[in-house]
Amino acid sequence: MQEVELKTDVALGVAIPSRNARGRIARLGPVIDAVLANHGYPPVIEQLLAEAMTLTALLGSLLKEPEGQLTLQAQTKGGIIDLMVCDYLGGELRGYVRHDPERLADVSKDPTLQELFGHGYLAITFDQPAAKERYQGIVPLEGKSLAEAAQSYFAQSEQIPSLVRLAAAKTEGHWSAGGLLLQHLPEGEEGRERLHTRLDHPDWPHVAILGGSVKPEELRDEAIPLDDLIWRLFHEEEELRTLPAIKLSRGCRCDPDYVRSVIARFPADEREAMVGEDGVIRVDCAFCSSSFAIAPGELA
């Protein structure tokens, strides 16, 4: 098996069996640069999407199925940002943000979620097609950060005590980001009937304190492999397990052939109306900002 480097663009699963805790740690660099390069967003939006992608990597790596998909969607009416979508499929990440540039110009340098989204909601969808399992939870976009919103998602929507840390920064034109997710699952990984989970189990504060001591710089620092960082935090535990690492990359599922096949199904007169001044039909992918030019003759 090919060894996955544990320094950047990678997610690693962690388990601390004696404390009934599991977690994911992720670090992202070039993958964020690659996603953001196509969009040309202002710094505030780039920062938000870098954190959102890091969260998406953490949550996506919880999926058991290789074909499983995780979607993070923040939505609002009348916010400066009205839509943010990130998704994960087999280690591939993509994302985009729809915002009002004029209103964004007036916002503070380090805005709260509420300043950006107004009264918005964060929907997290786990989709595992083989098991025919689809689960969506929704929480208000409140608090200072996406990490806080994600923590309340797990507490409110899934009744799982969780810790989420996200860090992202751009230095010398390149992004580096890292995230840590820790959860207390005293009744095991399976099942959603956790109504009787004790939210005050003594093992959990212990894990949360150790995990919470991680510094943003450590999460982002490519010089510290993820297994070393986990060891730093939890080396005093009885047993510390890691799962096979997942390589992260930028990936979009838009496909010129698929786009062509969709357009080809429209009636001829409707296709005619889609042709622009340059004589081709243009279809844009919001996720990756790719633009497909389809000549009407191709569809005949």
Please state the closest distance from residue 38 (CB atom) to Zn ion, in A. 9
Q: Of 49 and 62, which has the nearer Cβ to Zn ion?
A: 49
Rounded to whole angstroms, the Cα distance separating 132 from 126 reads 11
Write down the least CB distance from residue 90 to Zn ion, Å. Answer: 16
Question: What's the CA gap between 37 and 200, in Å, rounded?
Answer: 44
- The β-bridge partners of 74 are 84, 122
Smallest distance, Å, CB 195 to Zn ion? 41
Residue labelled with tokens 């052939």: 257
At its nearest, how many Å lie between Zn ion and the CB of residue 94?
7
CB of 194 to Zn ion, least distance (A): 37
Nearer to Zn ion, 154 or 287 (CB): 287
Beta carbon nearer to Zn ion, 240 or 288: 288
Q: Specify the residue, 171 or 291, whose C-beta has the smaller distance to Zn ion.
A: 291
**Cα-based distances in Å from 151 to 9, 27, 240:** 23, 19, 23
The residues that touch Zn ion, with contacts defined as CB under 5 A, are 252, 254, 285, 287-288, 290
Nearer to Zn ion, 100 or 255 (CB): 255
